[in-house]
Structure formats: structure tokens, C-alpha cells
Amino acid sequence: MKFAVQLYSLRKTAEKEGGEAALKIVAAAGYDGVEFAGFYGYTPEEMRKLTEKYALVPVSMHCGVKEVEQNLPYIDALGIKNVFVAWAPKDAFDDEEKFREMLADFDKAHALLAPRGVTVGYHNHAHEFEDGKDRMRQLFDAAPYLKAEPDVCWLTVAGKDAAAYLKGLGDKLTMVHVKEVADGDKGEAVIGEGVVDMQGVFAVMKKKALPWAVLEAENIVGDTAEYLSRSLKNMKNL
């Protein structure tokens, strides 16, 4: 298994020091790849050269379902193979008309990406499971081509058994967001040192032979490089 970082985790670093600084920190901490959530103003070719400079695989990206077409130059230049929609509001699932509109947007994204050998999928938060529903499953049932990138932090917050939910996704499970539950304003615990059942999560990931685990942190407090390094060490031991 290889390890990547969702670059949203380093947005504060990027804002202060630029996007290249974020890539440099990830590479220095020992990670193999990155998942993008924007490109810091670099052109597709410039970003490709930066990922090559720091030997980081551009394994995936997050973008809105309506933003896939405008990001095709980056997807093509970087060789990204997995595109995940990171958010949809609850009413996009619960309102019948809005749900149909969202499905049409996913269908368009799939039509653009499939010929490129790129999968399109969905990444959850906690609201997909409010009111006793499973809106993530609702979406997958309606659009069978979609893949899953479950976030184990948000599954835990939603009261789900993260490991069991991963198992239940079957062959839809493509990547996993490895994230600890946030502790108020103190930021997340280091991976493996919080409340998420990371032992169970990694057992499922290994059994399914997932090639990548993607770390994400909503709010790193303290030294970013140390957080990434300690988290990577713990993940390799799980």
C-alpha cells in the first residue's frame, strides 16, 4: 500500500508559502502521492513538472461535479485516474428534482472521464447519514458506475462502524480518506492516536488490496511536517 496526502490538509501552508511548499513538505515527510483540491494557479504543465520534481504521484483529485470539464486539462496532463466529488448538500439527495439534476451532472462527468480511463466517485461527510438514511448508498444505487472514497472520520462522526461500512461497499471501494476525528479547535489527533478504529479500517483496506490510503486533516495544529511524519509511521504499522 502507498500513501498520499489530500492537499486540502496543507491549505494554510499553501496560502502562506505557495503550492510548491506544500508539495515539498509532503515529499519530505515520505509520502508517495498527492490528491489535489485545486492547483494553486499553476498551469497543468507547471503542476506536472512540480509533481515530477518531488516524485509525487498525482493519484486523484477533488472537484465539484460541475467542475469536471474545466479540470480536464489537469486530469490529462497529470495522469489523474480518480476524480471524487467531495460534497453535495443534503437537499441534493432529498429533493427529487435536485437529485435528478445531480445525477445528470454525474452522468456528464462519467461520459467525459470514462474514455480517459478515469473513474468518478463520491466522498462523504456526515450529513449523508442523518435521519437514519444512507444517502451515499442512494447515490451509488442510482449511478452504478460511481466509485467510493469514504472518509472514516465522518463515518465515525455519523455513528457508523467505519470498518464495517468499508466492507459493505464491495468493489465500489476505491480509496479511503484516513482521518482522525477532530478535537474541537485542537485539530485532529495524529493518525492512529485518536478515536477512529484505524486497526479495523486498515484491515479492510489490506484485505481488499487497496493500492492507496489518502491522509486528510481538517485542521493541523502544531508542526505540519511532524504531523505528517508521525501519521505516516503509524499508518505503516497498522
Q: How far is CA 16 from the centre of its chain?
A: 23
Q: What is the mean pLDDT of residues 79-90?
A: 97
Ranges assigned E (strand) in the chain: 2-6, 33-36, 57-62, 82-85, 119-122, 147-148, 177-178, 212-215
pLDDT above 90 for 187: no
C-alpha cell at 188: 485532529
Give the span between the Cα atoms of 226 and 210, in whole angstroms. 26
- Residue 181: per-residue pLDDT: 85
Cell of 107: 452522468
What is the arithmetic mean of pLDDT over 211-216? 98
> Is residue 182's pLDDT more than 80?
no
pLDDT category of residue 186 using cuts at 50, 70 and 90: low
25: cell is 513538505
Domains parsed from the chain with CATH numbers: 2-237 (3.20.20.150)
Other residues' Cβ atoms within 10 Å of the Cβ of residue 64: 14
Phi then psi dihedrals of residue 123, to 5 deg: -120, 125
pTM reported for the whole predicted model: 0.95
Residue-wise pLDDT for 121-153, tens only, equals 999 999 999 999 999 999 999 999 999 999 999
Side by side, the strands of the sheet bearing 57-62 are 147-148, 119-122, 82-85, 57-62, 33-36, 2-6, 212-215, 177-178
Q: What percent of the chain has pLDDT over 90?
A: 94
